[in-house]
């Protein structure tokens, strides 16, 4: 199985571009902005302003290219590493940072943004996307649902059940697997004995597509096709986007324990942003100044978001009791009262 590729590492089109130049510039800008966020978030974590953070550097094309193929009202169910995709679909930076600061309000995007809070559990969330899309179809809407997950997540039983339901009911679901080579320290090769993850789709009567995950145009093209099939009622698709995370698993992990420099170096040459820059450069559609400006404004935007997140009025100690049910039950109110009594002043 050869991965679909449209833009090679030198920025040359191997095939017709699925997007006009202006759109490609938009995706480039989005990837640059996303990477700026990734760097900023890592910096904030170092300063102790965020708890653990999961970097996605290297996976920008897989996330931005796929999310760009969605309609604004489509559902997205993604993970802790998919900030770029979630942001593309409308989940604000501020919410993403707020969550990382350990504030439940981070999981609450504005109305109209149909993106669930990032899934921290590995595997369980894919079937949620199946249910979301299925519900839309049952009530006659043509909204689709996309779910993002990693190579490691495909080992969980829930991946299997989600794929099987999607196949049996032909739900409008796009399964987007970012195979970034690792599940913490476990290499893709030792995660499963199947040659590719894309081929696992066969087991469910679902088409499987292999794509160069660092080629934003290829990722966009295959996702657009999968979204189209889903919207037309033709069922689900599994996409394996082959990529590599350039950072560690999270800011708490030391990738040096399991990944050699050579692997990293090889992937550096396949950077998802570089090749688009080369492509735009060739057609004079890129300038150093423009990219610097993108980074600068992104940094401001993100710093502002971080400050807003930090400036948010703190929860009262009783806040958690308000989130158990729509209306706190008597027994929950008793517990709140007990906490406030014990805390005395602090309440």
Q: In this chain, which of 35, 40, 81, 125 binds ligand TPP, going by CB under 6 A?
A: 81
Q: Is 194 in the site for a second copy (CB under 8 A)?
A: yes
Rg of the chain (C-alpha set): 21
Active site residue 249: yes
Looking at 35, 137, 245, 270, which residue is catalytic? 245
Q: How far is the CB of 216 from another protein (least distance, A)?
A: 27
Pick between residue 92 and residue 123 the one whose CB is nearest to ligand TPP.
Answer: 123
Distance CA 57, CA 346 (A): 41
Q: Taking CB within 5 to 8 Å according to partner kind, which of Mg ion, a second copy, another protein, none is near residue 220?
A: none
Q: Is 48 left (phi over 0), alpha (psi -120 to 50) or beta?
A: left
Q: Which stretch binds another protein (CB under 8 A): 2-10, 59-67, 84-92, 310-318?
A: 310-318
Q: Does 252 bind ligand TPP (CB under 6 A)?
A: no
Q: Looking at the chain, which runs of residues are DSSP E strands?
A: 75-77, 145-150, 173-179, 182-183, 186-187, 208-212, 237-242
Q: How far is CA 239 from CA 177, 179, 201, 209, 223, in A?
A: 6, 10, 9, 5, 8
120 binds another protein (CB under 8 A): yes
Secondary structure (3-state) at 25: helix
**78 in contact with another protein (CB under 8 A):** no
Which one of 100, 188, 249, 270 is the catalytic residue?
249
Assess whether 258 carries a catalytic annotation.
yes
Query: Shortest Cβ distance from residue 149 to a second copy (Å)?
Result: 14
39-to-4, 28, 44 alpha-carbon distances in Å:
29, 17, 9
Q: 113-132: which residues touch ligand TPP (CB under 6 A)?
A: 120-123
- Burial label for 242, CB within 10 Å (0-12, 13-18, 19+), is buried
| Residue 202 binds a second copy (CB under 8 A) | yes
Rule CB under 6 A: is residue 180 a binding residue for ligand TPP?
yes
Q: Is-catalytic flag, 279?
A: no
Q: Which residues are catalytic?
A: 245, 249, 258
């Amino acid at each position: 199985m050869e991965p679909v590729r449209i833009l090679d590492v030198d920025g040359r089109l191997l095939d017709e571009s699925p997007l006009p130049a202006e759109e490609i510039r938009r995706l480039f800008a989005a990837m640059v902005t996303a990477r700026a966020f990734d760097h900023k978030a890592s910096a904030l974590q170092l300063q102790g302003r965020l708890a653990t953070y999961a970097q996605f550097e290297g996976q920008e094309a897989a996330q931005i290219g796929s999310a760009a193929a969605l309609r604004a009202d489509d559902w997205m169910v993604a993970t802790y590493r998919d900030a770029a995709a979630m942001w593309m679909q409308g989940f604000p930076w501020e919410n993403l940072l707020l969550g990382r600061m350990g504030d439940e309000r981070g999981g609450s995007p504005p109305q109209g943004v149909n993106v669930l809070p990032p899934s921290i559990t590995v595997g369980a969330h894919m079937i949620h996307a199946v249910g979301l899309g299925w519900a839309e179809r049952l009530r006659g809407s043509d909204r689709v649902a996309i779910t993002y997950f990693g190579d490691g997540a495909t080992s969980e039983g829930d991946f299997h059940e989600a794929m099987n339901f999607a196949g049996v009911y032909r739900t409008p679901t796009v399964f987007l697997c970012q195979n970034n080579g690792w599940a913490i320290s476990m290499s893709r090769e030792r995660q499963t004995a199947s040659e590719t993850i894309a081929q696992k789709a066969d087991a469910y009567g679902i088409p499987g597509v292999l794509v160069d995950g660092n080629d934003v145009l290829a990722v966009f093209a295959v996702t657009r096709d999968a979204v189209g099939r889903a919207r037309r009622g033709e069922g689900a698709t599994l996409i394996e986007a082959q990529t590599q995370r350039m950072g560690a698993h999270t800011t708490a992990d030391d990738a040096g324990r399991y990944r050699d420099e050579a692997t990293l170096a090889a992937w550096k040459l396949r950077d998802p942003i570089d090749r688009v820059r080369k492509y735009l450069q060739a057609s004079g559609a890129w300038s150093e100044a423009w990219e610097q400006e993108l980074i600068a404004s992104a940094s401001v935007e993100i710093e502002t978001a971080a400050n807003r997140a930090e400036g948010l009025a703190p929860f009262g100690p009783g806040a958690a009791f308000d989130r158990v049910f729509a209306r706190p039950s008597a027994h929950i109110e008793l517990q709140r009262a007990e906490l406030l009594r014990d805390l005395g002043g602090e309440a």
